[in-house]
Structure 1
Amino acid sequence: MYNISNTDLGEILEYMSMQINRYFSIFIFLFGTIGNILNCVVLSQPTLRVNPCAYLFLISSIANMISILFGLTTRILAGWNIDITDTNSLVCKFRAFIVFVSRTIAFWLIAFATIDRWFSSCSQYQRRQMSSLKNAQRGTIIIIILSILLYCQMIYCYEANMSSTPLPCYGKNVVCRFLTDLTYAIITILCPLLIMFIFGLITISNIRQTCTARLFKKKLIVLNGNNKNVLISKKSQQQRKKRIDRYLRHVLFIQIIFLSILTIPQAIEKFYTTLSVNATKSLLNITINKFIYNFVLLLTYLASGLPFYIYTLSGGSTFRVTLINSLQSILEKLTCR
């Protein structure tokens, strides 16, 4: 049997971390950027953009794309030891601010979409009226403003050339690390996930109650010749709206599951880093912590790049048909047909 010394294990982990940053980061960058661009194309189509939940998905996709572009670019460069945020404090602060704000916006918009689906599923008319495009737009503005205010601290707290931290660009003192790590873990990750989980369960309960009630509400409608076509047209529009609503609920629940799996590890890692900040660590422990930090960090970027593929694979024909039509329309414009 081979005996691996602490020095050898540390070198292996550093090498693995470098390779992950080089190649896994590039994969997530391409995977996520393409997916979010296609998301924006599809969700901005007239059939979907009037839906408040689809609107929230659209803005969330834009925020995810910003997070990937500003965050993963430096991770890729770190794989070749040319990450400018490691040594330039101004770039370090700006990059951290943009990434944290955009990710917070993306997560809270999905949480808000869960609340919107709850409003939409309620039997009370007044609550259903709360599910509107205007309210979605107002909520988006509030979330953006609060996210910016929440992470203004990054301008002061983050500094380049830090040692004994998961990254060279990190909180410059113990107070800053407590503040930024706990803010991110609790407010950016855990609180939105908790809201998604609670309102997701309530929405499922509402849907079941509605389905049960419909079994006992069968009405006979006498149609005359003049009104028949109008009523059928209205019924067709309602069925289309309900089909889009069902699709959005379905993909929303699947997205919540993947978000939980891919982001909770980083929240746990943040708590561990914060709680063990004063503990004496060996060089091997520091290397292990950096490796784990890099890996779970990339998982969160994977979560930012997944929505398009969730919508396409699990959302039924609604999203796929809109995607195909959108791409055909773009192709026709490019070829001047």
Structure 2
Amino acid sequence: MSSIDDTINQINAAIVSIVIAVSFINLTLGTIGLVFNVIIFTRPSLRNEPCSLYFFSSTCFNLFVILVIVPIRIASEGFNTDITSYNIGICKLEFFVFYVVRTIPCWLIVLACVDRYLKSSTKVHIRRLSSLRTAKIAIYFIVSVLIILHIHMPIYYEITRTFDGYGNLIPACYGQTGFYRKFIAFWSMASYSLCPSLLMILFGMLTVRNVHLSGRIRSEVTSRRIDRQLACMLTAQVLAIVFSTLPFSVYRLYASFTASLPKDATRLAWENLAFKSASVLTYFAHSTSFYLYTLAGTIFRKELVKIVRRHLWKRNEIHRTLNLHGQQQSEKVQKVIKKHEATSKDRYGCIAKNRTEL
């Protein structure tokens, strides 16, 4: 075996290790954090805010990403059990559903940025657009639009023969060769990473501009504590999405510009390592929201503390009730024993007295 083959094998082994390790980290962090998100965003202090509704909806889709997509990716990338490579129906359905579900949370955060922009406006009629009714309509609209915009995937995805990282020809689920494969590369970059990130930054800048134009934050709208905390949480989430998906966008651009260049096996292996690493890093955009909200939002931390305290209080109450019940049962047993002993003494006393009289 040549040194080139050794290098390629080492790179492929590194890919498997990176994918499995990072995926398990995301699976663990995401499962715990997103469940807490669902509990906290349904609390009375937060559930009536349109921005909270966007966060809650994003969390629901992120749960699907973490609990369904990530385990499937671990099985396919780490253990070579990708059933999409052998069933055309599953191939089309899986890639369509996975692309749509991963894209929706990013656009819901964009809507949250738009909501902050509307709420910071100096014009009353614009601020009124920030409402729960508007948020519900916007969520239904963006989900429907993204489903429609991805409808081409079940049509053009197919099982084709391709070389794996070790040079073996294997079946794999990909878009049709030619124009569509280049299109889907740009499309996934634009819809999942580039456009949402740019829009988040744009509306963030517009929100800052609105605040500066107003001269001060209006007392009846954005000076409320909950609004400020939601803005801080949103900023943290935006930064996480931008930095988690930026390497993916950079790689997609690089791959598009270098697609026509001749590449040897070693370079392809390194590019595959870069692609897999960039892809798996995007899952941090779906798994870390709870920890970002906890760090950035005081109201979020307070709700978390309330939930933990309530759980501990209930557990203590259960232990206290069980202990009290145990003590009561013990006292009852002691009373029965004492009563039984007294009865026995009386009985034996009577027997002894009768024997003496006899």
Question: TM-score, normalization: structure 2?
Answer: 0.79
TM-superposed CA distance for 1:241, in Å, is: 7.8
Cross-structure match for 1:265: 247
Aligned counterparts of 1:332 and 1:146: Cα–Cα separation in 2: 46
Aligned counterparts of 1:203 and 1:122: Cα–Cα separation in 2: 8
Cross-structure match for 2:173: 169
Q: Which moved more, 1:154-163 or 1:197-206?
A: 154-163
Q: Is the CA contact (8 Å cut-off) linking 1:177 and 1:274 kept in structure 2? A: no
Change (3 A) 1:200 1:243: same
CA-atom RMSD in angstroms:
2.6
Aligned counterparts of 1:122 and 1:83: Cα–Cα separation in 2: 49
Change (3 A) 1:323 1:213: closer
Cross-structure match for 1:70: 68
Aligned counterparts of 1:273 and 1:204: Cα–Cα separation in 2: 35
SS at match of 1:47: coil
Count of matched residue positions in the alignment of Structure 1 and Structure 2: 311
Aligned counterparts of 1:94 and 1:333: Cα–Cα separation in 2: 45
- Aligned pairs for 1:141-156 (under 5 A) are 141-156=140-155
Q: Is the CA contact (8 Å cut-off) linking 1:71 and 1:95 kept in structure 2? A: no
TM-superposed CA distance for 1:208, in Å, is: 3.1
User: Which residues of structure 1 form unaligned runs of 5+?
Assistant: 215-234
Change (3 A) 1:213 1:70: closer
What CA deviation, in whole Å up to 9, does each residue of 1:209-248 have, x standing for no partner? 435477xxxxxxxxxxxxxxxxxxxx9xx69981110001
Change (3 A) 1:119 1:328: same
Aligned counterparts of 1:117 and 1:213: Cα–Cα separation in 2: 13
Change (3 A) 1:277 1:115: same
- Aligned pairs for 1:20-39 (under 5 A) are 20-39=18-37
Read off the aligned partner of 1:256 and give its amino acid letter.
Answer: V
Cross-structure match for 2:86: 87
Change (3 A) 1:119 1:181: same
Change (3 A) 1:84 1:114: same
What CA deviation, in whole Å up to 9, does each residue of 1:71-100 have, x standing for no partner? 211221121222323433332322211221
Aligned counterparts of 1:149 and 1:208: Cα–Cα separation in 2: 38
Answer yes or no: is 1:296 the counterpart of 2:278.
yes
User: Which residues of structure 2 form unaligned runs of 5+?
Assistant: 166-170, 319-358
Greater Rg over alpha carbons, structure: 2
Cross-structure match for 1:158: 157
Cross-structure match for 1:192: 196
SS at match of 2:79: coil
TM-superposed CA distance for 1:160, in Å, is: 3.8
Aligned counterparts of 2:243 and 2:130: Cα–Cα separation in 1: 28
Aligned counterparts of 1:154 and 1:10: Cα–Cα separation in 2: 32
> Which of 26, 29, 42 is equivalent to 1:44?
42
Change (3 A) 1:320 1:300: same
What CA deviation, in whole Å up to 9, does each residue of 1:249-282 have, x standing for no partner? 1111122122111101111222233333343322
Q: Is the CA contact (8 Å cut-off) linking 1:70 and 1:95 kept in structure 2? A: no
Answer yes or no: is 1:256 the counterpart of 2:238.
yes
Aligned counterparts of 1:144 and 1:336: Cα–Cα separation in 2: 44
Aligned counterparts of 1:123 and 1:185: Cα–Cα separation in 2: 35
Read off the aligned partner of 1:50 and give its amino acid letter.
Answer: N
Sequence identity percentage: 30
Change (3 A) 1:213 1:293: closer
Cross-structure match for 1:276: 258
Answer yes or no: is 1:324 the counterpart of 2:322.
no
TM-superposed CA distance for 1:307, in Å, is: 0.9
- Aligned pairs for 1:12-27 (under 5 A) are 12-27=10-25
